[in-house]
Amino acid sequence: MAASSSISTVETSTTYITSTIALPTSTYTSTITSSFAVVDIYTKLPDQPDFIYYTKEWWTFSSSLTPTTPATTTTSPPGQTTGGSVTSASSTTGRSSSPSPASPASTDTPQLAQVSSSSGLSRGAIAGIAIGCAVAGLILGIIAGFLLFRRRRRPGPEIGYHTTQLVSQEKPLQEIATDRLDLDQFLLDSTPDTEISAELRSLNHLLQQHVEDNYHLQPVSSSTNDLSQALLRLGLGQDGTMTAMRLASLSLDPAHRYNAIQHVIARVTFASIAFDEASPFSLLPQPVFSFVSMIPAVENRRGNTDAVNVALTRWRQLSAFLLHPERSDRTPLTPPEDISTHKAQQLAVNLNVFLQHFVAGSREDRYEQENHLREVIAECATFGYHLFSQPSEYRFRFEDGLNPNSIVVCPGLDKISDEEGRRYPPPTQPVVAPVVESI
């Protein structure tokens, strides 16, 4: 007896997958169709009173590859993917009372239908093209993300740039203080007052030896008036401490001649190296002498003397540093060759207008006197440049308490300000007292 069968229900589902693939020369559209069928089967064997029920499922696949225009994008509802090369379609589901007419494939032994393509490309070629497009898209996405990331970070450096500009506008104020601190390390340190006083005493002995070795005590034929005129041309006898006539009279007296001559030489020579005296025979550097002579006096009632003193002290320190030929040595400024020879010789010639009346001997003796006088002046100039280079300010003092019966043969030295230019209140700090002789 043959078995009887019946089919009660059939459920079918068809899915369409459509993709667009861009090749170098043309564009192809690949369509893959998948059909699904479910059948309920009732079977009754001859010797069985009841029907046996089971369900049968079928899958069918078909694909096609057709050329399309390069700019074609296929859209199949309900889903769509744009901007790429693949567009997928939706699936539809329905029920019918008969199986799908497509060739069935059992789920127990599924089989994939042979892919047909009008272009003749194999499935491996299609898969390779798809994978290549995916890789290329991934690379392009990475590059686009990297560029976008850099663009978003670009405003950061601009903010930092403006911040740097604001900081740089405040920096010069800090640099000024730093530069000044560094500059002080190159300026000369203060020489101890004991060394300065010892140098001045040595100059006193040098002056005394020069006078005793080069001038005589014999009577001279010159008049007091002639000698006083020579003293006035040297700038002496105008400050009231000792008149030119009084000094001329002392020079004619053999008992006081040496003291008077030493006073004249010391007064004229030390005035030529004083920072605060406008001597016509100045041995200071020409720029320094010119600048000091051009400084106007402090205004009455409105001027600030302390500010002027501080500014002059700083200017003197910087001038000594800038005029030094070897600044890194940090040594006192020394007179240049022109000062030690020509300027000192000119001052000796002007002094000899008065001193020649007391020089005895031959022409060679007069030459020796003038040459030794020039050397004494050069030694005094070296001491004056040393004082000019000091951070503090010094001043020579020829007053001896206004004693009419005494004469100063070598000036004293007072420190009148500190390293910052602040003046000491009176009485000033004496470094060396004047050398005074009775007359």
pLDDT at residue 120 above 50? yes
pLDDT at residue 360 above 90? no
Mean pLDDT of 38-56: 65
Mean pLDDT of 380-393: 94
Which of 155-169, 292-306, 405-419 is the most confident on average? 405-419
Distance CA 44, CA 94 (A): 28
Which of 114-118, 152-156, 220-224, 372-376 is the most confident on average? 372-376
pLDDT at residue 43 above 60? yes
Q: Which residues contact 210 (CB under 8 A, 6 or more apart)?
A: 265, 372, 373, 376
Mean pLDDT of 17-45: 54
Amino acid, res. 357 = H
Mean pLDDT of 247-267: 94
- Mean pLDDT computed over every residue of the chain: 74
Cβ atoms 104, 37 nearer than 8 A: yes
Looking at residue 49, its pLDDT comes to 67
Cβ atoms 9, 39 nearer than 8 A: yes
Distance CA 414, CA 364 (A): 40
> Where residue 271 falls among pLDDT bands split at 50, 70, 90?
very high
pLDDT at residue 29 above 60? no
pLDDT at residue 9 above 80? no
Mean pLDDT of 271-284: 86
- Per residue in 61-81, pLDDT (tens digit) is 555 555 554 444 443 444 443
The count of C-alpha atoms lying within 13 angstroms of the C-alpha of 175, restricted to the half-sphere facing its C-beta, is 6
Q: In this predicted structure, which of 88-102, 153-167, 258-272 has the lowest mean pLDDT?
A: 88-102
- Top-confidence residue, 30 or 187: 187
User: Which uninterrupted H or E stretch holds 437?
Assistant: strand 435-438
pLDDT at residue 409 above 60? yes
Question: For residue 388, with 0-12 CB atoms within 10 Å meaning exposed, 13-18 middle and 19 or more buried, which class applies?
Answer: buried
pLDDT at residue 107 above 70? no
Chain length of the chain: 439
pLDDT at residue 140 above 50? yes
Q: Is the peptide bond before 78 cis (omega within 30 degrees of 0)?
A: yes
Q: What is the pTM of this model?
A: 0.58
- Per residue in 365-384, pLDDT (tens digit) is 899 999 999 999 999 999 99
Question: For residue 278, with 0-12 CB atoms within 10 Å meaning exposed, 13-18 middle and 19 or more buried, which class applies?
Answer: exposed
pLDDT at residue 111 above 70? no
pLDDT at residue 114 above 60? no
pLDDT at residue 263 above 70? yes
pLDDT at residue 45 above 90? no
- Per residue in 297-331, pLDDT (tens digit) is 777 767 688 888 889 888 998 988 898 888 888 88
